[in-house]
Structure 1
Amino acid sequence: MATASAVIDIPASSDQVWQLIGGFNSLPDWLPMVTRSELSEGGRLRTLRTDDGTVIVERLEAFDNAAKTYSYSLAQSPFPVKDYLATLSVEALGDGSRVRWSGLFTPVGVSEVEAQELFNGVYQVGLTALRANFPG
């Protein structure tokens, strides 16, 4: 399996950051490319719509509010991967916090390097957008 990840430090407490990103339906609140998120299956499935009209469906696989982490898989996406599992987590770091977004997947029709570059980019752009919500 291939992996990708991004990490960013944010000048806000882990509780403040988790308050913004911890909800499985909260991507439109902090990720500009996601314009809509709708939950179904009792909150375990989210259907995302991006600013270019792309639809992505993700399934919540694990959620731990106390540890400030959740993992999800792809049920439907345009991405050239299968067996995708990503994790978003927040940890306390002094007066601030560290956010990590990582994924495991098997590339389909593209090289491992191409798939890794794709998701490294998605995660880094996403975390940079998240950081913009916490000036300081």
Structure 2
Amino acid sequence: MATAYWSSVFTSSADQIWAHVRRFNDLPDWHPAIRTSEIIGGGNGLTPGAIRVLTGVDGSVYRERLVGLDDADRKLSYEIVEAPLPVRGYRSTLRVQPVADTGGAFLSWHATFEPAEGTTAQEATAVLEAAYAPALAGLHTIIA
């Protein structure tokens, strides 16, 4: 099993960051590579089982399922059902934690997956982390 990871520290509170991250259907608000998101089944986007279809600015399409949403622990987990990525069995968790000494927040994005046939773990990890970095940078811009 391979992993990918990205994180960032925010000056805004954990509750302020979580208010954006927890909305499964709102990724286009802060990920610059995602143009649209539509919940197509399984609930309203705030309950496990919800399925979203993301369309990238390049026209790529991603189908993802919300696996868990824990407001008390500020944790959201999802899995990729179908995507043009060099991975399979992808499962990811975003977690927002308070930073005690500043009152800010720490957001971590961690994924486990198997590299697709013909792809190394390092290549797949690089693709995923290259997607996480601008997403968290985008979150900084809407929070500021």
Smaller-chain TM-score bracket = over 0.9
Contact 2:92 2:110 survives alignment (8 Å): yes
Contact 2:22 2:69 survives alignment (8 Å): no
Matched, 1:17 2:17: yes
Task: Spell out, residue by residue over 1:42-94, the C-alpha distance to the aligned partner (whole angstroms, 9 max, x if none).
Answer: 23100001111111000011111121111111111000111100111111113
CA distance in 2, matches of 1:88, 1:2: 17
Matched, 1:97 2:105: yes
How does 1:30-69 map onto structure 2 within 5 Å?
30-41=30-41, 42-43=43-44, 44-69=50-75
Match of 2:47 in 1: none
Task: Give, as a single letter, the amino acid of the residue that structure 2 aligns with 1:7.
Answer: S
Unpaired runs of 5+ in structure 1? none
User: Equivalent residue of 1:53, what SS?
Assistant: coil
CA distance in 2, matches of 1:63, 1:115: 26
Contact 1:21 1:30 survives alignment (8 Å): no
Q: Which residue of 53, 74, 84 corresponds with 1:78?
A: 84
1:126 Cα deviation from its structure 2 partner: 1.2
Length-normalised TM-score, structure 1: 0.94
Match of 2:137 in 1: 128
User: Equivalent residue of 1:72, what SS?
Assistant: strand
Equivalenced residues, count? 135
What is the root-mean-square deviation in Å for CA atoms of aligned residues?
1.1
CA distance in 1, matches of 2:77, 2:6: 15
CA distance in 1, matches of 2:137, 2:73: 22
Unpaired runs of 5+ in structure 2? 45-49
Task: Give, as a single letter, the amino acid of the residue that structure 1 aligns with 2:139.
Answer: L
1:101 Cα deviation from its structure 2 partner: 0.8
